[in-house]
Structure 1
């Protein structure tokens, strides 16, 4: 799966590492309503091309997952700043 790395030069490997780090940082630095969004740009950093369409839960299950995710933020980041900024498209 990662055979392409074997063929890269040192410079190409460094450029690849930097691109991957930037993608991870963009994902890590999501906040507010962005946390709930699908992030295909992160997966686009992989060499394999696949248009992975996620399996989307029905609304009741989806909302339960959103609530559980938000609860996990309270548990894992209890001192994180809070906002009441409304979602804007």
Structure 2
């Protein structure tokens, strides 16, 4: 799947690493309501162009997953500052 890497020059590899790092940093640095969104821009750094096969759980299961994710943030980044802003659909 990643055979294209074998044929890249050093300069191309460096550019690829920089692109991947920028995408990972953008994802990593998401905060507030942006944490809740999927990130197709990150997937877009892959060379294969496929339409993601996203399965969306029904609302009750989805909301339980959101709650579990939020609880995991309390455990993993317990000292994180609160982001009290309401969600604004026009900002994402």
Which bin holds the TM-score, normalised by the shorter protein?
over 0.9
By relative contact order (CA 8 Å, sep 6+), the higher-ranking structure is 2
The TM-score with structure 1 as length reference comes to 0.98
Match of 2:59 in 1: 59
Q: How many residues align?
A: 89
Structure 1, gaps ≥5 residues long: none
Structure 2, gaps ≥5 residues long: none
Question: Aligned partners of 2:74 and 2:54: how far apart in 1?
Answer: 26
Q: 1:67-82 alignment to 2 at 5 Å? A: 67-82=67-82
The TM-score with structure 2 as length reference comes to 0.95
Q: 1:1-89 alignment to 2 at 5 Å? A: 1-89=1-89
Question: Aligned partners of 1:34 and 1:54: how far apart in 2?
Answer: 18
Q: Where has structure 1 moved over 6 Å in runs of 4 or more? A: none
